[in-house]
Amino acid sequence: MVGKISQNITDLENHLSEQIYFLESSAKSFDAGYEGEAKRLATSLRVLLHDTNSSKSLLGQLNLKSLQFLDTAFEYDPRNLLTFSGLTIQQISLSEAKYVPLLEETFGKKIKKIDFEKWWNAIIFKDNKNNKMSRKDIILAIANQDGGAHVDPNLNEIYANLSRQNSLNWFFISENNNTFQPFGGPHLASIRQIAYEVLITLKDRPKKKKHRSRPRKI
């Protein structure tokens, strides 16, 4: 049986630098119009954030889940009967309507930082059947099932309806043929916004002091 060698703190910090680079590169490509890059964003986010019984997240290994995470979402109100997409806004043109990430725009809401578990599990979607999804849910659905790190033959039903069946139930009138057309799914734009939150959170983390070695006497 082959043994295992623990990765040291330098190894882990190098992995973190790589994952940050991956997020920044895919975010830049997404913003340039390649929205499929959100699937690579989801995979890096899973590496950074998701813990299981058999694997530990990179931020967990670096003890960085104790950070306060940037929360840019609109606040979910369970009394509101409308569907909800907390990390996006709607963008409508003459030919299409879609969801786009908020990025640094605040739209009058208070931007705050919150504990990881609250951030990770907060409701960011509610569909027309009152199904709800969190940041964790959407990241894992895309990374594990919908082309991030794996293509599953069967998708989570709530996610499939959100991404493919307009389960938020919003329509626009097409200028081309004057008919009602469904919005595209909000899932990819939401992943882009989560990546924005994580990048800002990590950028603002306290930097470790580097110890200077004292010159030796000869």
pLDDT digits (tens, 9 = 90+) for 4-37: 999 999 999 999 999 999 999 999 999 999 999 9
pLDDT at 212 (0 to 100): 53
Q: How far apart are CA 175 and CA 84, in angstroms?
A: 26
Longest alpha-carbon distance in the chain:
86
pTM of this prediction exceeds 0.85 = yes
Q: How far apart are CA 130 and CA 171, in angstroms?
A: 18
Q: How far apart are CA 2 and CA 111, in angstroms?
A: 49
pLDDT at 142 (0 to 100): 98
What sections of the chain are H helices per DSSP?
Answer: 9-31, 37-49, 58-61, 116-121, 135-144, 157-164, 187-203
Which residue matches tokens 């929360």? 71
DSSP characters for 54-70?
S---HHHHTT-TTSPEE
Q: Which two tokens stand for residue 113?
A: 């930082």
pLDDT at 218 (0 to 100): 42
**Per-position pLDDT tens, the chain of length 218:** 789 999 999 999 999 999 999 999 999 999 999 999 999 999 999 999 999 999 999 999 999 999 999 999 999 999 999 999 999 999 988 778 899 999 999 888 888 999 999 999 999 999 999 999 999 999 999 999 999 999 999 999 999 999 999 999 999 987 777 788 899 999 999 999 999 999 999 998 887 665 454 554 44
pLDDT at 209 (0 to 100): 60
Mean of the per-residue pLDDT values for the chain? 93
pLDDT at 214 (0 to 100): 53
pLDDT at 173 (0 to 100): 87
Which residue matches tokens 């082959």? 2
pLDDT digits (tens, 9 = 90+) for 60-87: 999 999 999 999 999 999 999 999 999 9
